[in-house]
Every structure is written in C-alpha cells, then in structure tokens.
Amino acid sequence: MYLLKLCFLIAGIGINIGLFDIHVVKMDNTDISIGDLQGKKIMIAILPVTNTKSDIAFLKKIDMISKLYVDKITVIGVPAYEYGYDENRITDLQDFYNGIIGKNVIITKGMYTNKTSADKQHPLFSWLTDVNQNTHFDQEVKGVGEAYFISAEGELYGVIGPEKELSDILLKKLLQLQ
C-alpha cells in the first residue's frame, strides 16, 4: 500500500489518506495512531477552552460518555485554534481538563479544525469535513461541542452540531446500543 501511495505521489495524482492512517498528538506529546483504535467506535468532540458553566457541563458529559460506554467507544477531545486554543496556555488547559475529564478521554493538543484554515487544517478534520474523504458528510465545523461518530470499521456515520445536546437517548441511537 505504501508503495502504491508513493507511486501516485510521484505521478502527481492526488490521493486522500484514510482515517486509520492519521495520527494525533496528545497534550502530553504522546503520538496516537487512529489506526490503533480500529475495531472500536470513536467519538471526536471539539472541546471548550474556557471555564464557563456550560463548558464544564459539556466536559462532564464527555467524561460520563467515556466511562459509561468504555467498552464500546473511544472518546477523543480536541481543543481547536479557531475556538480559542492557545499553546501558551497548554499547562492551564491540561489542569482544567484533568480536573473534570478522566483518563478514558484522549485529549489532543490543539488542532486547526475548520476548512477555512486551508492547509493548516489537521488531516483528521480534513477527513471529517470532506465528503470526498469520509464519503458521507461535507460540512464545516460549527464550534465547540460538535461531535463526530465513527464506526469500528472507520465509517463516519453521525455528526452532532454544538447546538444539539448530547442526550442519553440520542447517544444510544448514535452508538447503536439500544
């Protein structure tokens, strides 16, 4: 497969990278391959970087999801540059997140998430927001609280915008646990 990709690159033919080829970096600088999560459902959520009542409630919900469905889903939380992430505050953010979210949630370093970030957009969000890569959805990230649901086989099958609350009923339907 690597040789095939290399041949396409040399020939100048653009190819999309697959979800399981993407890597993310946790806040502690640990590299995580999304490929290592293959076989388990994945939820990716845009995390808040401010300490408001609603932000804390959202983080508690993310933590609850990671604990309640620990055997069924891996939760990845992503702070976004477009929504206030600042590398100079990484220690404060780690303390903030660690005070609310348990060890079950993978928290990444900040990423550029929006299509409008062009070539700065992280490959994970290029995949999540481009129908030519994920084959289902073609939309811009709408903000903190947006969540993406990926099957164990790597198919993006659900997106919840930040305006929609992650209710237990909705989660059960999205996670197909009923």
Per this entry, what is the length of the chain?
A: 178
Is residue 94 predicted with pLDDT exceeding 70? yes
| pTM given for the model | 0.88
- Lowest mean pLDDT: which of 49-58, 68-77, 125-134, 162-171? 162-171
Is residue 161 predicted with pLDDT exceeding 90? no
- Lowest mean pLDDT: which of 28-32, 49-53, 92-96, 173-177? 173-177
User: Could you report the per-residue pLDDT of 6-58, keeping only the tens digit for each?
Assistant: 333 333 344 457 999 999 999 999 999 999 999 999 999 999 999 999 999 99
Judge whether 157 and 136 are in contact, CB under 8 Å.
Answer: yes
Is residue 143 predicted with pLDDT exceeding 70? yes
Q: 2 or 50: which carries more pLDDT confidence?
A: 50
Q: 163 or 67: which carries more pLDDT confidence?
A: 67
Q: How far apart are CA 73 and CA 136, in angstroms?
A: 20
Hey, what domains does the chain have and what are their CATH numbers?
15-174 (3.40.30.10)
CB atoms within 10 A of CB 28: 9
Q: How far apart are CA 48 and CA 78, in angstroms?
A: 9
* Average pLDDT along the chain: 88
